Amino acid sequence: MSLKPRNLTEQLVETLGQRIVSGDYPIGGKLPSEQFFGAEFDVSRPILREVTKVLMAKGLVESRSRVGTTVRARENWSMLDPDVLRWTIQSLPEQAFIDFLFDTRMVYEPGAAALAAKNASEEDLVRIRSAYDAMKEADTASDLMDPDLEFHQAIVDATQNPFLAHIGRTLYNALKYSIELTSRHPHTHDLSLPRHKAVCDAILNRDNAKAAQAMQVLLEESRDDFLHVAGTAAKGRAR
């Protein structure tokens, strides 16, 4: 397998990262030798060593003299690294991904909504309201995607907490994928708008408790939308 010369390091990081996260190389196991990868991908040892450094920085592997490069335990992986997160999404069944992501969102988004109601600047409130208005104007589920993502990011930015804002941006791709899954519901636009309006109104009214509650309801019902669509699809396949 010969890689294109555009950026050999990036391409090989992508290939080996996907293999590690998907379990092709088991945790605690050694990666094949540099000679093996050199022959498989037609790349030089310096490139392979640079790839190993990148994978080490992401927490996926460790390299020791006389031992070689081994896959680290999952708890050592940098799960909020955009690449590791993307590879994880790609390796999981949809149901497992939704469960993990919505559990994560339930932990931080209701609290973020409450903080946004408390700490948002006037500019933040305008941004949140504008994102909701853009959702209202969307004609299709595809048109709904960008303003929906903007709505959620505007809320975590409005907390004035840089750590929460970073989490929101790091989870952007996962959130986008989850919205794509839940938007398969045939009535996604009609279902989504009132939920987001409740969150928007609570934040604009500076009502911390209602903002948190409305966000919790939004997440729970969005998860139900996915389960409904997944169940319908499963019944269709069984026929």
Q: Give the whole-angstrom CA distance, residue 184 versus residue 230.
A: 9
Pairing of strands 61-64, 68-71: antiparallel
Q: What is the pLDDT of residues 109-156, one digit of tens each?
A: 999 999 999 999 999 999 999 999 999 999 888 888 999 999 999 999
What's the count of helices (H) and strands (E) in the chain, helices before strands? 11, 2
More confident residue, 185 or 54: 54
Cα 209 from Cα 115, distance rounded (Å): 10
Q: With bands split at pLDDT 50, 70 and 90, how would you rate the model's confidence at 231?
A: low
Determine the longest span between alpha carbons in the chain, in angstroms. 63
Distance CA 193, CA 132 (A): 8
Distances (CA, A) of 47 to 33, 44, 79, 83, 132: 13, 5, 24, 19, 47
DSSP 44-64: -HHHHHHHHHHHHHTTSEEEE
Higher pLDDT, 8 or 148: 148
Q: What percent of the chain has pLDDT over 70?
A: 94
* pLDDT band at residue 6 under the 50/70/90 scheme: low
Output the six-digit token pair for 178: 């989850």
What confidence category does residue 86 fall into, taking pLDDT thresholds of 50, 70 and 90?
confident
Q: What average pLDDT does range 9-30 have in this prediction?
A: 95
How much is the average pLDDT of 178-189? Answer: 78
Q: Which tokens sit at 27?
A: 């945790």
What average pLDDT does range 160-189 have in this prediction? 84
188-212 mean pLDDT: 95
Residue 108's H or E segment, with its range, is helix 94-119
- If pLDDT is split at 50, 70 and 90, which confidence band does 105 have? very high
Q: What are phi and psi of 71, to 5 degrees?
A: -80, 130
